[in-house]
Amino acid sequence: MDKELIIDATATDVKIGLIENGRLVEIHNQKTNDNFTVGDIFLGQIKKLMPGLNAAFVDIGHKKDAFLHYTDLGPKLRSLVKFANGSINGQLNTHRLDNFKVDPEIIKTGKIDQVLNKRQPILVQVLKEPISTKGPRLSCEITIPGRFLVLTPFNDVVAVSKKISNSEERKRLKTLVESIRPKGFGVIVRTAAEGKKVADLHEELNMMLQKWEDIHKQLYKAKPPMKLLSELDKTSSILRDILTDDFTKIVVNDKQLFYNIKNYLTSFAPDK
């Protein structure tokens, strides 16, 4: 199958079309003046608790406060808060979670004002971009995605994408990832990992751990709101998610974007 990516960039937006065997199968549109995108990680500050909505409004530096619902806190909230606070005040001197004591999970049916306080700093990830009058939607279930794997702090589960249907391959990947998984982190194995060698997966895992270390270092004495990790722009994140060996051509009309994509490919798929 021939796969082409056609990228049309203007001063205000970037349109991305995915063509398979001469047919347009996907189209994406990204405004170029966004100051954040889905996947960005921030140290925010709780501005307002809304018990009626079972949610909080969080300042992440956007003109409209972001929305954080109880169901998006994730069961590991207490561990996340402990890690963030320990990193901010300097009590936690490593990003590694080998000796980090994971706190009890919060209950699914709990109330927002039982687990969060007004003005407290909170580590959050953008779940959805803002729509018209609403601010962005947030999650406290932090994930660090790569091309083959997704790193999930404070848990120890290895999950393999259901799109990998071969049971032998699923077993191989699960065993392999279990052997290289750092203690205190869970890993989701993505479809693109099928057939990959341990060296490829290990290299990516180290890159993702490096990002987690960067977050930990930036948290020291940090004052919210502050961006800690920026997700790739949509062009690069689409490349990361769909790039396979049958990818044959990328056409782009913007010099800066051309260099960004070239640099991205050099690090993620040098043979391309």
Where helices occur in 13-134 by DSSP H, the ranges are 77-88, 112-115
pLDDT at 13: 77
Instruction: Answer whether 231's CB lies under 8 Å from 38's CB.
Output: yes
Sort residue 119 into left (φ over 0), alpha (ψ -120 to 50) or beta: left
- Name 21's bridge partners: none
Report the alpha-carbon distance of residue 6 to residue 16 in Å, rounded. Answer: 6
Query: pLDDT per residue over 43-68, tens digit each?
Result: 999 999 999 999 999 999 988 899 99
Residues in the chain with pLDDT values less than 50: none
Sort residue 213 into left (φ over 0), alpha (ψ -120 to 50) or beta: alpha
- Name 22's bridge partners: none
Residues, the chain: 272
Report the alpha-carbon distance of residue 145 to residue 166 in Å, rounded. Answer: 23
Q: What's this model's pTM, rounded to 2 decimal places?
A: 0.78
pLDDT at 231: 66
In this structure, what token pair is assigned to residue 4? Answer: 């082409």
- What beta strand segments (E) does the chain contain? 3-9, 13-20, 23-31, 41-50, 55-59, 66-69, 121-128, 137-139, 144-145, 149-153, 158-160, 185-189, 226-229, 247-252
